[in-house]
Structure 1
Amino acid sequence: MRFAVSAALMGAMMSMPAMAAPARKAAPVAAKPAPVPDVARVAITTPMGVITLELDGKHAPISVGNFLRYVDARRFDGMVFFRSMHLPWGDPPNGLIQGGIRDAAKLFPPIAHEPTSQTGILHKAGTISLARHQPGSATADFFILLSELSSLDADPKATDPDAQAGFAAFGHVAEGMDVVRKIWEQDRSPTAGEGAMKGQMLATPVKMLTVRRVPMPAAVSAPAATPVAPAAGQ
């Protein structure tokens, strides 16, 4: 069953301008990025512990290549998790944490949107996905889900263009969901944030000390895409 997204929640996910850094000229494009692996692991080291991500480059090569480009350039180092969204329904922990780069000078150009209807990577608990304004505007901001939120998956039958596109999921947490929860549980400011994001900002953002590629376990191979259920009547 597909959960409907309330106007407030969709506004919170879409209203990134409230969180964006002042517009500045983007950093010059560096050398051609390295080839995107079918699967890669990245460790985000925080004062609360390490979050190890497993990225699905086979099914989401644009999004994974973009994320690894920031990792390899060390542009996430010193950045923060700044948002903890708690859903008003379901059992906790539910919602997401969000982090990324607040300095526009450190951003690479936006990338093309990879919908879940194309990649098969759905928004389950532990999924990592790109934050954005409109489709095709994603850069470095990302979020990690604490619970399933299928409303963020692409819905080709929707009349709203944003719902049609959904968000671009590109991997999942392999280790460290306990750290994700610790960040989610941190105190939030009752006044910080604008619009639908008000009350969702962490009172003390959690720093990403380092963000680095790490070796794949020997037994891990390229991931298979999550099956997408057919539409009714098919």
Structure 2
Amino acid sequence: MNRRAAAVAQLEARIGHQFSDRDLLERALTHASVGEGATKVRHYERLEFLGDRVLNLLAAERLMGLDAEAREGELSRRLANLVNYQACATVARDIGLGEALRLSASATKIGARDSDTVLGDACEALIGALYVDGGFEAARAFFLRFWAEAFAGLNAPRGKDPKTQLQEWAQGQGLPLPTYGVVAREGPDHAPAFTVEVRVQGYDPEAAQGRSKQEAEKAAALAMLLKHEGPQ
């Protein structure tokens, strides 16, 4: 298995979806630069168009579900923070999308593989491909997993560390201290991704991902606070 094939396999493992349509996956990972020249190559721009619309719907659906009282203007502000290319590029790096991309030699040479714009566009294309290959539920599962930290940061409690905030919230209700556990560790040693679950007695656990155990614990604590209206 060559280096890129290994990166593609690792990408599928990371996102938890094995594509049944391999040509679709290849198209989702092919940058337009590959088509420069005489050979006609199908690249990801059409899937990017679709993925952008799917992403906006998924984010809007989640925002509406999390806050039944928010006004349209506030929802629009939050949506803009969730679906911009920087947010997509962050997710792309988390899942190792750059290593799996098919780029021309010239695009690779100028650093396109680590460009926020390229990674953001490719992430949207991948969402479009997930929607086509696995339906809306496959796209939703990807979105809920890899946008959890972004949602947690939308209304992050100010001042104190979120783990401290959660501890004080639990104690205020007469509950034992929250507990944290690593439920998954993925990625290479130089760029690991940790999924941590936080538990508070009497509440459903919340999980979140981060580039370190500490980062994932903070994201999980934020998710728990926001879901159960902890202190702001």
Q: TM-score, normalised by structure 1?
A: 0.23
- In terms of Rg, which structure is larger? 2
TM-score normalised over the length of structure 2:
0.24
More helix by share: 2
Query: Which is richer in strand?
Result: 1
Structure possessing the higher relative contact order (Cα contacts under 8 Å, 6 or more residues apart)? 1
